[in-house]
Amino acid sequence: MLLFTLFWITAAASFSGFMGKWGLRDGDKRFGIEVMLNATAHKPFAYRHLAPMLANFADSMTPEPLKKYVTARIKPENTFAKATDVINPKLRFRYIVICYLSFVSLLLSLFVLRRILLDLRIGDTASIVAPMSFVLALPYVQTIGGYYYDSIELFFMSLAFLIATRGRVLLLVTLALAATCNKETFFFYLPTLYPLLRQRLSPKSALTTTILAILAAGITNVLLKVALFDSPGVAAETDHFLTNIRSYLRPWTYLHYEFTYGIISPKGTFLGTLAIVAIVVLRSWTRCPTKVRQHIVIAAALNVPLFFAFCQTGELRNLSLLFVGFVILIGLALDPIITVSTGTSTM
């Protein structure tokens, strides 16, 4: 109960940080919550359709008296200044559903990440603190943009990692369908799971499972693109590479700031942020299990080129293929410190 309470508060704080910073992109005609729910968003945002689909389903299946009860008592607009679309009666219930899908995803991610760390024989305390630290830091990497499906993506990637370590073939393939509906980049996450599958499966079975999951994600992505072919916009923005190269060569790119949790904070590739990442990696890499290092290397090989080619400068939330691996590195970095300070053993 204490752990649940602690994780609940952490997820609530992180979600509030996101909502205070971005809302559900209310009012935006390309990717705001109204056009996402009404399936009129621009590509590629239109492909992130899982949460809107679930919200629309919940809206159609929930009795009117219950909807009225919920919408009368849950009032995001009283807390978040950017929650402007929630006052629209046609959107209100679905808006609330999206909010709680995002929050619950963060909450569940904490439990899944803790289980991953415990399975890797990281100490009990570090296995709690590391996921909490990352989830609380998530609004800081939601720079340039932040979206409700970011937290859902973290949950799916964490769960996929855990499933892969257990060698659950059918479950992983099934998960790929839903996760790709949430965000099409899950397709690129699946190859990073091969080293984890190899711990439980033969090389042939692990490769077959990876291919099947990639095919499931690929077919899902194609079907979404066909269904939303007439949506405005383009499937991917491809004009960022040269801009990014120029930007990352400029010193002031590493000195930007913004406001997170309502307080002035680092923005994007801020020098201090990069220093923290470097410290975590340097402290943890040599003690990181081989299978996890392989997972991180594959994720970096796929994610970093995509990051430079398709993302705006400093849009760290799009390094999401590396998030689960980084939480593990945080746990490994914290574990010796906590062990020394408490006098406990992790083995």
Amino acid 70: pLDDT: 97
Amino acid 347: pLDDT: 42
Indicate left, alpha or beta for 147 from its phi (over 0: left) and psi (-120 to 50: alpha): beta
3-state secondary structure the chain: CHHHHHHHHHHHHHHHHHHHHHCCCCCCCCCCHHHHHCCCCCECHHHCCHHHHHHHHHHHHCCHHHHHHHHHHCCHHHCCCCCCHHHCCCCHHHHHHHHHHHHHHHHHHHHHHHHHHHHCCCCHHHHHHHHHHHHHHHHHHCCCCCCCHHHHHHHHHHHHHHHHHCCCHHHHHHHHHHHHHHCCCHHHHHHHHHHHHCCCCCHHHHHHHHHHHHHHHHHHHHHHHHHCCCCCECCCCCCCHHHHHHHHCCHHHHCCEEEECCEEEECCCCHHHHHHHHHHHHHHHHHCCHHHHHHHHHHHHHHHHHHHHHCCCCCHHHHHHHHHHHHHHHHHHHHHHHHHHHCCCCC
pLDDT 10s digits, 69-108: 999 999 999 999 999 999 999 999 999 999 999 999 999 9
Amino acid 336: pLDDT: 86
Dmax of the chain from CA atoms? 62
pLDDT 10s digits, 300-333: 999 999 999 889 999 999 999 999 999 999 999 9
Model's pTM, two decimal places? 0.94
* pLDDT < 50 stretches in the chain: 345-347
Instruction: Choose among 187, 114, 141, 169: nearest CA to 18.
Output: 141
Amino acid 346: pLDDT: 47
- The count of residues in the chain is 347
